[in-house]
Amino acid sequence: MDCQLDFIDYHDTGYFSSLITAYLNDASPLRPFYQYSPVDIDFDRIITDRTAFPVDRSLLVRELQQQYAELDVPDAVKDNIRRLEHNDTFTVCTAHQPNIFTGYLYFIYKIVQAIRLAEQLKERYPGRYFVPVYYMGSEDNDLEELNVIRLEGQTLRWETDQQGAVGRMRTEGLEPLIAAAEQRIGINEHTAEIVDLLREAYLGQPDIQSATRYLVNALFGRYGLVVVVADTPGFKQAIRKVLEEELFSHSSYPVVQDTIGRLSAHYHAQAHPREINLFYLRDQLRERIVKEDGHWQVLHTDIRFTREALMAELDTHPERFSPNVILRGILQESILPDVAFIGGGGEIAYWLELKSLFEHHGVFYPLLLLRNSVLWVDEKSQQGLEKLGLPARALFRDTEALIADFVKKHTRHDLTLKTEYDELERLYAALKEKSRNIDPTLAASVGAAAKKALCGIGKIEHKLLRAEKKKFEWQIALIRKIKAGLFPGNSLQERTDNFLPYYAIYGSVFVDMLYESLDPLSRKLTIIRPGEDGI
Q: What is the pLDDT of residue 451?
A: 74
Collapsed DSSP state (helix, strand, coil) of residue 3: strand
Question: Mean pLDDT score of the chain, rounded to an integer?
Answer: 91
What's at 434, amino acid-wise?
A: K
What CA–CA distances, in Å, run from 163 to 169, 230, 300, 331, 511? 8, 19, 13, 23, 33
Q: What is the pLDDT of residue 409?
A: 78
Which is more confidently placed, 462 or 324? Answer: 324
Distance CA 375, CA 382 (A): 12
Which is more confidently placed, 438 or 191? Answer: 191
Contact 277, 263 (CB under 8 A): no
Computed over its alpha carbons, how large is the radius of gyration of the chain?
Answer: 28
Task: Note the pLDDT tens digit of each residue in 82-122.
Answer: 999 999 999 999 999 999 999 999 999 999 999 999 999 99
Residue 22 has pLDDT above 60, yes or no: yes
DSSP 425: H
Nearest 5°: phi and psi at 508?
-65, -15
Distance CA 232, CA 95 (A): 17
Distance CA 266, CA 261 (A): 10
Give one DSSP letter per residue of 140-185, joined into a string.
---HHHHSEEEETTEEEE------S-GGGSB-TT-HHHHHHHHHHH
Q: What is the pLDDT of residue 192?
A: 97
Task: Note the pLDDT tens digit of each residue in 145-174.
Answer: 899 999 988 999 999 999 999 999 999 999
Mean pLDDT over 7-24 rounds to: 95
Instruction: Report the DSSP pairing between strands 89-96 and 285-292.
Output: unpaired
Contacts of 113 (CB under 8 A, 6+ apart): 94, 342, 369, 371, 372, 518, 520
End-to-end CA distance of the chain: 6
Residue among 203, 57, 71 nearest 131 (CA): 57
What CA–CA distances, in Å, run from 59 to 52, 85, 270, 337, 474? 18, 9, 33, 12, 63
Facing residues of 2 across strands?
none
Q: What is the pLDDT of residue 415?
A: 46
Distance CA 169, CA 153 (A): 27
Distance CA 494, CA 104 (A): 6
Q: What is the pLDDT of residue 3?
A: 84
Contact 359, 27 (CB under 8 A): no
Q: What is the pLDDT of residue 230?
A: 97
Contact 224, 132 (CB under 8 A): yes
What are the strands of the beta sheet with 285-292, ordered from one edge?
304-305, 295-298, 285-292, 278-282, 321-323
Contact 504, 191 (CB under 8 A): yes
Contacts of 55 (CB under 8 A, 6+ apart): 238, 334, 335, 336, 337
Mean pLDDT over 309-330 rounds to: 97
Q: Where are the domains of the chain?
A: 43-235+324-376, 240-249+265-323, 379-491
Nearest 5°: phi and psi at 41?
-80, 120
Q: pLDDT category, 504, cuts 50, 70, 90?
A: very high
Task: Note the pLDDT tens digit of each residue in 209-250.
Answer: 999 999 999 999 999 999 999 999 999 999 999 999 999 999
Q: Is 351 exposed, middle or buried (0-12, 13-18, 19+ CB in 10 A)?
A: buried
CATH for 43-235+324-376, options being 3.30.310, 3.40.50, 3.30.70, 1.10.3470: 3.40.50
